[in-house]
Structure 1
Amino acid sequence: MKARILSTVGLWLGIILVLVIFKSFGGLVLLAAITALAQYELYNLLEIGGKARPLKVLGLVLGVCVILASYFLPVSGAMEAPAIALIILSLSLLSAPKIGQTFMPTLFGLAYLPFLLQFYGLMLAEWGSLFLPVWVIAVAKFSDVGGLLVGKKFGKNKLAPAISPGKTIEGAIGGVIASALVGIILSLAFKSLIPFDMPIFKTIFIGAAIGAIAIISDLLESQLKRWSGVKDSGNVIPGIGGAFDLIDSLVLCGPVAFLLFKYVY
């Protein structure tokens, strides 16, 4: 637990420092780097869990391009980079026709991480606000914190025992409430940094929704690790594990938050 706390504090300080110095570009580079590392770990999980032989280098290069394009290309062309990446990946079938072993796992790694995480870059491009994706990340991460604290004290009923035995329904409720509260606190404390009005009731709804999605996103990664028979996706972060372990709860939150910001506010 001590190593986890120290790693978490160190990571947040490092991220804040990069964002203060390099602003949006620094955030984009961080997103691309963390996504690439997580994608690499996901490919390793697919190799361990089955007979998959993903085209790692090609998948990682295309993934980085998708992330960078989310910011540098117009938001109206958000599907252009993923479409081009799919075309390029499809060409690999000419030399590596084993669809089940190479193409499909490579495509899954590309679609599940870079494609979904690009929505954090799209937030930057759409609203020009670095605070907005940071708000989503903080709200999602406090779902973990709230779930851990409430679950330890009040948790009795298992949420998904076959996937993650430690998670409880009480902890999940606590995590959703924590996300909603953090969302409200941050929106009030940094109101000047938000590019649109965030009414309190809508913020409660969106914060709670992101908290719930964060739990589901975390469970999906746990399912992948259980299928592969490993405890952590990697060991680059003491007390946390790998990059995929670090961002597992954020994967589904990006697109959900983007849609909520666009159509609810």
Structure 2
Amino acid sequence: MRQRVITAVVALALFLPVIYFDFGGVSVALLGAAMAVVGVYELFRMKGLAMLSFEGVLSALGAVLLVLPEGWFLFLPEGTDRFMLFYLVVMLLLGISVISKNTYTIDEAAFPVIVSLYVGVGFQNFVSARVESLIILCFGLFVVWATDIGAYMFGRHYGQRKLWPDISPNKTIEGAAGGILSAVVVAFFYLLVFPGNDYFGHGTFVMLLLTIIFSVVGQFGDLVESAIKRHYGVKDSGNILPGHGGILDRFDSLLFVFPIMHLLGVF
């Protein structure tokens, strides 16, 4: 616990100034791109693949292309978006099957593509939320953090029925419900300060209803990461954050929540 607290304090001391000031509109984008590359590395590591390989480099490149704002790609012809660049990465990965005389198959090419999309689109929406406003980004962060803390506390004190024992044996239905309740309470007070009609694409009441969806989606994202780790037989996605695991261990919920926030018109 001491190690977890120290890591959390140090990480927040580095993380919060970056997202608060977003120096020149560059720092959050670079942070998102860096975390995406680490996420790609962690997934390749779990699968037992080398990051410093042709497909590993392409997967990391694809994730970065998805994360960085389109305004950064000044060399693109007008009307061309980043997804066309990403598709070039897909074409190159599929092309390995020809170069390798089909010893590298389309099934193997699918893994780096899915990895790029998973972490790339997730962190892209994290960056996009900050571009829209700090208030929106913090709303997403607070909902996810409140869900995590609430689920842990309620599950520890009241948890009886397992939520999904085959995937995550320690999670309980009571904990999940407590996480949703905690997220709604935190969102309610947040929206008192920053009313939905003024700062979000929806009114306050609708935002509270959406908070339930975001909390559920965040917990599902956590379960997805647990399923991936269980499939590969690892406890943590990485060890970059002592006591907490890897980047994906800390951002698995956010990778699901921010795209859904965007999809539902919050930013």
Q: TM-score range by the shorter chain?
A: 0.7 to 0.9
1:31 equivalent in structure 2: 32
CA distance in 2, matches of 1:94, 1:38: 24
Runs of 4+ aligned structure 1 residues displaced above 6 Å come to: none
CA distance in 1, matches of 2:167, 2:192: 37
User: Is the contact between residue 55 and residue 102 of structure 1 (CA under 8 Å) also seen in structure 2?
Assistant: no
> Are 2:203 and 1:225 equivalent residues in the alignment?
no
* More displaced stretch, 179-188 vs 205-214: 179-188
Cα pair distance change 1:252/1:196, threshold 3 Å: closer
Alpha-carbon shift at residue 104 of structure 1 (Å): 1.0
Picking from 113, 121, 129, the partner of 1:123 is 129
Classify the secondary structure of the residue corresponding to 1:95. Answer: helix
Deviations 1:7-31 (A, max 9, x none): 2233223211223343442222211
Alpha-carbon shift at residue 119 of structure 1 (Å): 1.8
1:114 equivalent in structure 2: 120
Alpha-carbon shift at residue 101 of structure 1 (Å): 5.6
Which structure 2 segments of 5+ residues have no match? 99-103
Classify the secondary structure of the residue corresponding to 1:232. Answer: coil
User: Is the contact between residue 187 and residue 198 of structure 1 (CA under 8 Å) also seen in structure 2?
Assistant: no
- TM, length-normalised to structure 1: 0.85
Cα pair distance change 1:186/1:40, threshold 3 Å: same
User: Is the contact between residue 29 and residue 69 of structure 2 (CA under 8 Å) also seen in structure 1?
Assistant: no
Rg comparison, structure with higher value: 2
Alpha-carbon shift at residue 72 of structure 1 (Å): 4.6
> Are 2:247 and 1:243 equivalent residues in the alignment?
yes
User: Is the contact between residue 71 and residue 122 of structure 1 (CA under 8 Å) also seen in structure 2?
Assistant: no
> What is the aligned-residue identity percentage?
27
Cα pair distance change 1:59/1:206, threshold 3 Å: same
* More displaced stretch, 214-223 vs 63-72: 63-72
1:8 equivalent in structure 2: 8
Deviations 1:68-105 (A, max 9, x none): 035657xxx99931232122331233334422464111
Deviations 1:84-132 (A, max 9, x none): 212233123333442246411111111111023312233345xx31321
Classify the secondary structure of the residue corresponding to 1:233. Answer: coil
Q: Which residues of 2 match residues 175-214 of structure 1 at below 5 A? A: 175-190=179-194, 195-196=199-200, 199-214=203-218
Cα pair distance change 1:100/1:229, threshold 3 Å: farther
Which structure 1 segments of 5+ residues have no match? none
How many residues matched? Answer: 254
User: Is the contact between residue 70 and residue 81 of structure 2 (CA under 8 Å) also seen in structure 1?
Assistant: no
Aligned-residue RMSD, C-alpha: 2.7
The one-letter code of the counterpart of 1:113 is V
User: Is the contact between residue 221 and residue 253 of structure 2 (CA under 8 Å) also seen in structure 1?
Assistant: yes
CA distance in 2, matches of 1:104, 1:186: 41
